[in-house]
Amino acid sequence: MAMTEKQLEEILAQYPSKTQKNRKKHVLVKDSTTENPQVIEANTRTIPGIITNRGCAYAGCKGVVVGPIKDMVHITHGPVGCAYYTWGTRRNKAKTEDPDKNFINYCFTTDMQESDIVFGGEKKLTKVIDDVMSIFKPNAISIAATCPVGLIGDDLGAVARKAEEKYGIQVLAFNCEGYKGVSQSAGHHIANNGLMQHVIGKGALEEAPAKYAINLLGEYNIGGDGWEVERVLKEIGYHIVTVMTGDGKYEDLKNAHVAELNLVQCHRSINYIAEMLEIKYGTPWLKVNFVGVQATIDTLRNIAEYFGDEALTEKTEAVIAKELARIESKLDQYKKICEGKTAFCFVGGSRGHHYQGLFRELGIETVLAGYEFAHRDDYEGRQVIPDIKLDADTKNIPDLTVEKDPERFKLKLSPERYEELKKKIPLGQYCGMNVEMKDGTVIVDDLNHYETEEFIKILKPDILASGIKDKYVIQKMGIPSKQLHSYDYSGPYAGFNGALKFAEDICMSFSSPTWNFITPPWKDEPLLTGTVADA
């Protein structure tokens, strides 16, 4: 069922007038016939009192970007609740290659108390670093600030510098207090800047250690996604220098400058590093999407196109054919269950878009989608091969303070080849939510709990892809909810095997008898009331 403007107005009419005006700018009913492309407001403050699904800057910095680096110890300087919130719930998996250097399952915090707020927490932080060094001996440490730390003014940088002198290892301080910015997004940016400034490019390598050396950016190995992507890339013949940051290593990250190409899966959380790597070391980047079978195939072909090597293209096609032969008939079985169903797809800053292709190829139409904290370019679209910035005057690029490293800068793509590729690799593909959604579907930025319920009542989706904060509200309305953050303890969902696993999981949801025992509100509450006009 498509949404009408009138229905949308009725939902928003319940808000006080100022809120109504604000929320109106964050919701669109897709209409491709408008004279100018539709504009959605994004990355602005959530109105206090509204139940949002968003997180904070600390979550974006420590929980998302820095936390998955497994051979570092990450200390949360703040209340234990903040540390606990980013302890394992995101399911960024890591392999224990070296049992002495994988700290991913630990939770380190200063556990700030009221007395620390009054007298300051720097001594406690120093003590935690001492403990970490005597017990765990990591190669590097990160410290993440939470709201109270910023409010009392603890100097994380000073503590980190002293610890660096004392122990001779890198101690990175991230001033990612939760209240900075309007969501996780500010934390991504803080993390990107810190890693770029202090870690990336500090390794000893001068050259890529093998042919077709790539970095995988914005892949966090949720439920093992990164492993599935790596499996396929390695089979084709790529050498992965580092993954940022799923199952990632500090030691590998230092050598990210030698890769010939950066693949960007989640643009939202890591675009800053991608751009800075291009400017500082001359490495171009390619927007990729490994969610969905067709997206994975297109992505693999685009990467092969980038390197322009016949043998690599042949191997790519052979791997695609082999993988398809293995999964296609199984997927067809699942498609029979999914065909004709509808979904809401609301996730953080990239999956709300990335998963739509996978839903579509299973026969499920996304009737409402959105992001918690994405920016306008995530909605409106961008290029697969972005405009070249190799010689850019960095001072003109807001928020990027990085400059060319004359020692290590190596142009890895000639401007002529770049122009050639721009023609070969279609622009805009998989790069923006608004572009791909059908007319009449709804796009909502920072969807909240009130709106979720109201949209469900009108559009009656068969499944809702979202997160933990709204999962059970949705299920109590009689609709299966698939967490697309943590994958409900399942996964991987990326790549070929991931598509199959995803299909299997949602078919299990559709086929569960549970929903027959729940009466959704629209079955026993009238939706519209009115009187029949006289004849």
| 239 scored as a contact of ligand HCA (CB under 6 A) | no
Token pair 């399952």 is found at: 105
**How many Å is the maximal CA-CA distance in the chain?**
90
Q: Which stretch binds ligand HCA (CB under 6 A): 44-52, 70-78, 267-275, 478-486?
A: 478-486
**Crossing angle of helices 495-511/351-361, nearest 10°?**
80
| 55 scored as a contact of ligand HCA (CB under 6 A) | yes
Nearer Cβ to ligand CFM (319/345): 345
Token pair 């440490």 is found at: 141
Angstrom CA distances, 373 to 310, 352, 463, stand at 41, 11, 22
Please identify which residue in 74, 485, 491, 494 interacts with ligand HCA, judged by CB under 6 A: 485
Listed residue (342, 340, 339) closest to 460, CA to CA:
342
**Measured at CB, which residue is nearest to ligand CFM?**
348
| 468 scored as a contact of ligand HCA (CB under 6 A) | yes
Sheet holding 342-347, edge to edge: 27-29, 442-444, 365-371, 342-347, 463-466, 481-483
For the purposes of burial, counting CB atoms within 10 Å of the CB of 418, is it exposed (0-12), middle (13-18) or buried (19 or more)? Answer: middle
| 351 scored as a contact of ligand CFM (CB under 6 A) | yes
CA–CA gap between residue 316 and residue 105 (Å, rounded)? 36
State the minimum distance, in angstroms, from the CB of residue 99 to ligand HCA.
26
Task: Assign 295 to helix, strand or coil.
Answer: helix
| 287 scored as a contact of ligand CFM (CB under 6 A) | no
List Cβ neighbours of 489 (8 Å cut-off, separation of 6 or more): 91
Partner from ligand HCA, ligand CFM, none binding residue 469, C-beta < 5-8 Å depending on class: ligand HCA
| 63 scored as a contact of ligand HCA (CB under 6 A) | yes
State the minimum distance, in angstroms, from the CB of residue 213 to ligand CFM.
24
* Phi then psi dihedrals of residue 299, to 5 deg: -60, -45
| 257 scored as a contact of ligand HCA (CB under 6 A) | no
State the minimum distance, in angstroms, from the CB of residue 80 to ligand HCA.
16
Of the residues 42, 59, 208, 266, which is catalytic?
59
Number of residues that bind ligand HCA (CB under 6 A): 14
State the minimum distance, in angstroms, from the CB of residue 459 to ligand HCA.
21
State the minimum distance, in angstroms, from the CB of residue 445 to ligand HCA.
16
* Phi then psi dihedrals of residue 499, to 5 deg: -60, -40
| 46 scored as a contact of ligand CFM (CB under 6 A) | no
CA–CA gap between residue 7 and residue 114 (Å, rounded)? 49
| 46 scored as a contact of ligand HCA (CB under 6 A) | no
Which residues lie near ligand HCA (CB under 6 A)? 53, 55, 59, 63, 89-90, 184, 348, 467-469, 483, 485-486
Which residues lie near ligand CFM (CB under 6 A)? 60, 64, 90, 184, 218, 220, 222, 266, 268-269, 347-351, 485
The catalytic residues are 56, 59, 90, 188
